[in-house]
A and B are shown apart, each in its own frame.
Chain A
Amino acid sequence: MPGRLHTTVRSAPFSLYVHCGFMRRMARRIDTYLKRLVSEEKFDFYSVVRDFADAEISPRILDWERDHTLVPDDAIAKMGELGLFGLPIEERYGGQGGDHTDLVLMGLALGYWSHSVAITPGAALSLGAKPLQLSGTEEQKQAHLPALARGERMFVFGLTEPGRGSDAANPQVTAKKNASGWVINGEKCWSTNAKWASHVIVHALTDPDGRNGRRSTCLIAPMDAPGVHYQEMSGKRVWEQSSTGSIVFDNVQVAADSLLGEEHNGFKVMATTLNGGRLFIAALAVASIAFALDKCSTYAEEREQFGAPIGRFQRVQDVIVDLDIAVERGTTWLMDLCGRFDKGTLSRESAAKCKVDCSQVASDLLVQAMEVCGGVSCLDEFGLIRHHNDLFVTRVGEGSNYALRDLIVRPLRS
């Protein structure tokens, strides 16, 4: 008979156990695939973030949901101590010197429990720090990246507007040049991390008569500049612990050196930024499938009906097998594309295809996984309903799947 030498509880960081209480970590099938795909060091890093999430996030997420609170400051601070806010920032700017693979591994490890938690450093890096790394001047990088890496400062990307989503190349927010720099007017919304932001990168219309794709400019505005008003968007029933803000600009004066990238070439800054962000969104979708696979396969072994575990019934097996295929395929695809992103050879179409497919497959399979588990899936503590709701965002966030299909089809036209 198998026995236990110890009953234990994971009570503090990194596999701290004590001789009282009991908690068994849910084995993650996704680990098997990741171990084959990435180097030992990368897998070690993933394991640390996974253990952190098991110890610090998973026991608390239900309370945050029931209290309708955003990711609390202490959890953000702990992610900062772990270096997550500096993950793909170069070491010379005080970052961890990681690459996009590391960022996506973080997304897989944290997103397994909560998209909201994962997207907090995820958006801070792929939408906040990344445009600065890709398009910023040396002065701008030195001024901001070290504080971003320490988690003391956070950038948000002001892209979506009340009247502009997929047609992002033509923003309604305007920036007009004057003697001191630029004056910004208008409203941005759906800005992830707005609550914690120190600065916002504003994608604004600067040349209405320019050709399509050369009409806008990206500017860095401090959130405490006179005329910047932030409000948390209320009533959101997805990514509930993530901050999503509306930011209004009322004659906001920014200096000339606030320009990020070239004048009237803001669309390029935005487009290159979103490429990497889309892989992160795909990672959250894959993390949800990974969670559903573990939850559903465990439940199917434990739940007995008609005198047998329901996992012995073929239609239930089909769902589990489809989840397993989706996890292995998703991780393999993601790791390949991350490698290409880091080499600078990832096409917009490739990133878009991965995001479209992973998000769609994940949300379709999640419903089937819930159906296998039945009524218990409706309870928040079972966890599947959280992923079900959060996966909707992966279909419409960082480029809606409908709009991205228009991008994917372009090279297919003669």
Chain B
Amino acid sequence: MEILVLVKRVPATDSQIKIAADGKSYDAQGVEFVLNPYDEFAVEEALKTKEARGGTVTVMTLGTSAAQKDLRTCLAMGADKAILLTCEDHPDSAAVASVLAEKSKELAPDLIFCGKQAVDDDAGQVGPRVATLLGFACATDVNSLEIGDDTFAATRDIEGGRETIEGKLPAVITCQKGLNEPRYPNLKGIMAAKKKPLDEAAATPPDNKVEVVALEPPAERPAPSILGEGAAAVTTLIDKLQNEAKVL
């Protein structure tokens, strides 16, 4: 079974993010980058599928050459080979999906895994867009999965319940927390990753269809205040809840 995992390098979620002077991007200075956490579920599920059914796991990303490090992490976890499509620009979701889908055609995968979203822009578009461009079945936000010879059954949480969908391979599965517990790479894996193929090729994404026009940090929370003590404070509290917080 040919298995492909689409991953992305993102700022670590415990990084302190500063908005850059242009007001449209963030300042990457001093920011630690990691493999998108949801993509770790995707890599783990790909490895588990390979262990159960055999095949090859390829990880692929579109990004700067710095993403080599994250691809090596995937190789250390157990992926067989990696492809880095290099690009210095900031393509939008449609452009990213277009490049990844084009390259995917060459690999003819039976299954494509990716995180349900990248935690930097939270767009969540690449998985479904790639599926559409390739004409593959697609299951999003999957937290339980069974793979048959040429079928899949995916379960996902929906409002007030769980939904199970079945479909035919080839398919794109976007992975949600709960699907598995990603393995840590061990020393042997880290050493082996050095020798695994990591192919690099320049990508030319199509023009962006959307652009980021503003990026703002969340509003600062106002300082808390003590309204009073005991029963005397109740009237003030109700007034604040009604007129300031507007929750009553």
Binds A, one of B1-9, B142-150, B184-192, B237-245: B184-192
CA of A294 to CA of B26, assembled, Å: 28
Q: Which residues of B contact A97 (CB under 8 A)?
A: 187-188, 191
Pair B120/A5 contact, Cβ less than 8 Å: yes
Q: Which residues of B contact A45 (CB under 8 A)?
A: 187, 190
Whole-angstrom distance from the CB of B212 to the nearest CB of chain A? 13
Pair A1/B187 contact, Cβ less than 8 Å: no
Cross-chain contact of A41 among B18, B119, B183, B190 (Cβ < 8 A): B190
Q: Which residues of A contact B14 (CB under 8 A)?
A: 8, 10, 17, 23-25
Instruction: Tell whether B160 is near chain A: CB-to-CB under 8 Å.
Output: no
Residue of B nearest to A52 (CB): B184
CA of A402 to CA of B237, assembled, Å: 67
Pair B16/A48 contact, Cβ less than 8 Å: no
Pair B190/A44 contact, Cβ less than 8 Å: yes
Whole-angstrom distance from the CB of A380 to the nearest CB of chain B? 25
CA of A91 to CA of B191, assembled, Å: 12
Pair A98/B187 contact, Cβ less than 8 Å: yes
Pair B177/A18 contact, Cβ less than 8 Å: yes
Pair A48/B188 contact, Cβ less than 8 Å: no
Pair A3/B217 contact, Cβ less than 8 Å: yes
CA of A44 to CA of B68, assembled, Å: 13
Whole-angstrom distance from the CB of A311 to the nearest CB of chain B? 19
CA of A51 to CA of B218, assembled, Å: 28
Residue of A nearest to B41 (CB): A16
Instruction: Tell whether A81 is near chain B: CB-to-CB under 8 Å.
Output: yes
Pair B37/A15 contact, Cβ less than 8 Å: yes
Q: Which residues of A contact B184 (CB under 8 A)?
A: 13-14, 48, 51-52, 81-82
Given contacts A8-B14, A15-B34, A44-B76, contact A83 B183 (CB under 8 A): no
CA of A81 to CA of B187, assembled, Å: 11
CA of A1 to CA of B18, assembled, Å: 7
Q: Which residues of A contact B25 (CB under 8 A)?
A: none
Residue of A nearest to B181 (CB): A12
Residue of A nearest to B117 (CB): A19
Instruction: Tell whether B55 is near chain A: CB-to-CB under 8 Å.
Output: no
Instruction: Tell whether B90 is near chain A: CB-to-CB under 8 Å.
Output: no
Pair B182/A13 contact, Cβ less than 8 Å: yes
A168-207 vs B, Cβ < 8 Å mask (1 yes, 0 no) = 0000000000000000000000000000000000000000
Instruction: Tell whether B12 is near chain A: CB-to-CB under 8 Å.
Output: yes
Instruction: Tell whether B124 is near chain A: CB-to-CB under 8 Å.
Output: no
A245-264 vs B, Cβ < 8 Å mask (1 yes, 0 no) = 00000000000000000000
CA of A48 to CA of B72, assembled, Å: 13
Instruction: Tell whether B35 is near chain A: CB-to-CB under 8 Å.
Output: yes
Q: Which residues of B contact A6 (CB under 8 A)?
A: 13, 119
Cross-chain contact of A14 among B19, B26, B40 (Cβ < 8 A): B40
Instruction: Tell whether A133 is near chain B: CB-to-CB under 8 Å.
Output: no
Instruction: Tell whether A373 is near chain B: CB-to-CB under 8 Å.
Output: no
CA of A18 to CA of B179, assembled, Å: 13
Whole-angstrom distance from the CB of B65 to the nearest CB of chain A? 15
Pair A3/B187 contact, Cβ less than 8 Å: no
Instruction: Tell whether A4 is near chain B: CB-to-CB under 8 Å.
Output: yes
Instruction: Tell whether A2 is near chain B: CB-to-CB under 8 Å.
Output: yes
Q: Which residues of A contact B73 (CB under 8 A)?
A: 44
Q: Which residues of A contact B185 (CB under 8 A)?
A: 14, 44, 48
Given contacts A4-B218, A16-B37, A18-B177, contact A102 B13 (CB under 8 A): no
Instruction: Tell whether A127 is near chain B: CB-to-CB under 8 Å.
Output: no
Pair A17/B188 contact, Cβ less than 8 Å: no
A44-66 vs B, Cβ < 8 Å mask (1 yes, 0 no) = 11001001100000000000000
Residue of A nearest to B220 (CB): A1
Taking CB atoms and an 8 Å cut-off, the chain B residues in 99-120 that contact chain A are 119-120
Q: Which residues of A contact B216 (CB under 8 A)?
A: 3
Taking CB atoms and an 8 Å cut-off, the chain B residues in 150-199 that contact chain A are 177, 181-188, 190-191, 194
Q: Which residues of A contact B217 (CB under 8 A)?
A: 1-4
CA of A41 to CA of B72, assembled, Å: 10
Pair A5/B11 contact, Cβ less than 8 Å: yes
Pair B191/A15 contact, Cβ less than 8 Å: no
Whole-angstrom distance from the CB of A108 to the nearest CB of chain B? 15
Taking CB atoms and an 8 Å cut-off, the chain B residues in 178-234 that contact chain A are 181-188, 190-191, 194, 216-218, 220
CA of A2 to CA of B29, assembled, Å: 12
CA of A82 to CA of B190, assembled, Å: 12
CA of A2 to CA of B186, assembled, Å: 35
Q: Which residues of A contact B181 (CB under 8 A)?
A: 12-13
Pair B17/A17 contact, Cβ less than 8 Å: no
CA of A23 to CA of B194, assembled, Å: 32
Residue of A nearest to B218 (CB): A3
Given contacts A44-B190, A97-B191, contact A13 B183 (CB under 8 A): yes
Residue of B nearest to A15 (CB): B34
Whole-angstrom distance from the CB of A293 to the nearest CB of chain B? 20
Q: Which 6 A-B pairs have the closest CB atoms?
A: A3-B217, A83-B186, A8-B13, A17-B13, A96-B187, A17-B37
Told that A2-B217, A10-B14, A87-B187 touch, could you supply 17 new A-B pairs with CB distance under 8 A?
A1-B217, A2-B16, A8-B14, A13-B184, A14-B185, A15-B35, A15-B40, A16-B40, A16-B182, A17-B37, A19-B119, A44-B73, A48-B190, A96-B186, A96-B187, A97-B188, A97-B191
Q: Which residues of B contact A (CB under 8 A)?
A: 11-14, 16-19, 26, 34-35, 37, 40, 72-73, 76, 119-120, 177, 181-188, 190-191, 194, 216-218, 220
28 A-B contact pairs sorted by A residue (CB < 8 Å): A1-B217, A1-B220, A2-B16, A3-B18, A3-B216, A5-B11, A5-B119, A5-B120, A13-B184, A14-B182, A14-B184, A16-B177, A17-B13, A17-B14, A18-B37, A23-B14, A44-B72, A44-B76, A45-B190, A51-B184, A81-B183, A83-B188, A87-B187, A96-B187, A96-B188, A97-B187, A97-B188, A97-B191
